[in-house]
Amino acid sequence: MKFFLQQPLDRLPRLLGYLSSKQKGYIHALPQRRHSSIIRQSSMNHEFIDVSDEVRCALLEKKPIVTLESAIITHGMPHPTNVETAFQVQNIVRQNGATPATIAIVKGRIKVGIDDETLLHLGEVKENTYKTSYRDLPFVLSQKMNGGTTVSTTLAVSNSIGVPVMVTGGIGGVHRGGETTMDVSADLIELGCTPVGVVCSGAKSILDIERTLEYLETQGVLVATFGSNKDFPAFYSRKSGFSSPYNVKTTEEAAKLLDIMRHSELRSGIVIAVPVPESNSIPSDEMEDIIKNAVQEANQKGIKGKDITPYILSHVAKSTEGRSLSTNVALIQNNAAVGAKIAVDLSELCLTRSTHNTMPRGNGPTEKKPNVVVIGGAVVDHITKLSEPYKADGRSHLAHIVQSGGGVGRNMADALGRLGAWPLLVSAVGDDLAGLYIRRDTLAHLDTSGVRVVPGGRTAVYTLLLTSEGDCHTGAGDMEILGNISTDMVQCHKTTLASSALVVLDGNVPVETINYVLQQCHASQVPVWFEPTDIHKAAKPLQTDSWMTIDFVSPNFNELSIMCKALSSDKCHFFDYLDLSDEDVVKEAQYLASLLGEHVRTVIATLGHRGIVICRREDADEPFFLISSDGHAKRLPHQSSRSLQARFYPAPVCQPVSVSGAGDCWNAGFISAALQGKTEISCVKAGFSAALCSLAATSAVPLNLEITQKQR
């Protein structure tokens, strides 16, 4: 074991005494679509939408998704065929590489992705279940009813969550006699103002198909038949006697249409009309005779409005002796397969596009893949610096109070982003003003698709009281919400974890989640950095089965002592940190770091104003990462045969404005340099430089955070 005393780095100010100040810190991570200045474009407030874990994960990972309407479950088919078909359709979507997102209304909440129990309930219970078109939403939601969504409602929700592919049996249209009754389905209106592609078997045969096509043209909706010709299908029949303006022969061609629709920001949708399979088709002449008789009967009985479609469909089912139902099942299954393949092809097109274009940063998922994933606390810091000496006599003190973004995870992600990295922050905030402040005002430059907003939750808040000299007097925090950083939440980012250069965990993360992340990263050979956050959380990784896979750990002296005590209490010496001389603190830190360094590849111990100790087996002029020819950073191979070396880097004097966040900025500076393949000495210099910026500002991570050329 070798101990080293490094020379001062360009006589930097004393600052690492302030690195022990580390604060702790569900929006359904939905992609934000940009909207042009248009008259109307259907979209909905996410406040009323609940997205299932499966769908949310697919959204975050940018996987192909297909939305499915639920009126076919609640009103379109008899039980149990409705439920059986719904399950079959979802499975077909999955088998073809996409994620199904059945949209329904349950007790006044719009659900995107429903579980099996809910699907069964919607299919069985008709009482208090409403066939919900776009116009019906306010009533159904306000009355907390259940609802089966029609094409129009499903379109609006699909657009709101950023899913461009929807599958249904057939769209609504202009009813027969609609030229006098003005009975036109809201589906056509929504298609005219919602940029989503609908995969269907045309319009239902009971409608006036010619006028439906004319209306779609007027609304600016592109209609294309899927196949070798332009014959527009009539739901039960492959041919309606009318033609689509266009046809697409493959799912790739259809995907290109949707890709152009999305990226040119057109306001209208696209209809991909898929003919029913030949073996299940009912001759159009036969269907026309049946429908005419049904319409005539309905007129004689005075059946109108929304009651006419169920009546005619019932008449058709009886007249075809059930063939119409089997045809309905077959066509929706076929549409699901085609729609899923289109979604997969569209996803690949978008991925190809993202390799040629770098999108601006923002609060939604960025096109550039993150190279660092930071999992940890996002907190609102209230920093109170006294303007006069503290007196414990009950008086009110004059002070300067500043609100800023805090939390170790948030701080490190914020700092990494300002230093040129592409971090993804995974955290949890409440649906309150504090949560809005964190997302909108402190993280506008980051990919925050991993920040989940917990309904009814309180965003973490930390209050720090500084003396008039800038030293920490006391602090208090409400961190309960950070328990929501669960394994399920992190699972949504499994692909991103596996492809990143480094994953950072802070001590706010629950033990179960830490264990999951360590296992996933070990399997993918991705290094993990653990920042203990405080003494009560420092030993969390040691409660897992995978803690020895950690590559970096950055405790302060007290946190290092706690970790070593948990690891090997018989080898630890315990002193009051404040009672030790500077020389003794350094020696003890080197000893403790060497104990932990037997199991963790790199130990970075912060020692307050004294400096830092780095313990590893490599020399000071060696890097932590190797940079490949394509620019990717890979962890340096482990030098297990070498002896451990513990080097001390002293930090000269500075006058801090605020100590909050300095340690997190130091870590970010160090990481940003390490990921560029810099040597240990260069990484330490970069860390000091970033920390100096933080110490000179009131906020934990200053807007002008940088690593000066002198310190590189």
Q: Got the DSSP string for 613-645?
A: EEEESS-TTSBSEEEPTTS-EEEPPP-TTSPPE
For residue 554, what is the DSSP state? -
Report, in angstroms and rounded to the nearest whole number, the Rg of the chain calculated over CA atoms.
Answer: 31
Helix (H, G, I), strand (E, B) or coil at 79: coil
Structure tokens at 597: 């360094």
Give the whole-angstrom CA distance, residue 625 versus residue 679. Answer: 9
Is residue 669 classed as helix, strand or coil in its secondary structure?
helix
Say if residues 689 and 711 touch (Cβ distance below 8 Å): yes
Tell me the pairing of strands 146-149 and 222-226.
unpaired
Can you read off the two tokens belonging to residue 465?
Answer: 């009281």
- Distance, CA of 135 to CA of 109 (rounded, Å): 16
69 is catalytic: yes
388 is catalytic: no
What is the phi/psi pair of residue 217, to 5°?
-60, -45
Give the number of other CB atoms < 10 A from CB of residue 652: 15
- Residue 316: name the closest of 289, 276, 336 by CA: 289
Question: What is the C-alpha separation between 503 and 416, in angstroms, rounded?
Answer: 12
Q: Which of 22, 204, 678, 685 is catalytic?
A: 204
Looking only at Cα atoms, what is the longest distance across the chain? 101
CA–CA distance, 439 with 363 (Å, rounded to integer): 7
Residue 396, C-beta contacts closer than 8 angstroms, at least 6 positions apart: none
Could you give the angle at the alpha carbon of 273 between the alpha carbons of 269 and 275, nearest 5°? Answer: 170
Q: Which of 22, 62, 69, 618 is catalytic?
A: 69
CA dihedral 132, 50, 499, 602 (to 10 degrees): 180
- 556, β-bridge pairs: 606
Q: Hey, what amino acid is at 468? A: S
Per-residue exposure over 381-418, b if at least 16 CB sit within 10 Å of its own CB, e if not: bbbebbeeeeeeeeeeeeeeebbbbbbbbbbbbbbbbb
Residues ≥6 apart with Cβ < 8 Å to 693:
665, 702, 704, 705, 706
The values of phi and psi at residue 167, to 5°, are -120, 135
Q: Under 8 Å CB-to-CB from 663, ≥6 apart: which residues?
A: 16, 18, 19, 20, 21, 22, 554, 556, 606, 691
Which DSSP letter does residue 233 get? P
Residues with active-site annotation: 69, 204
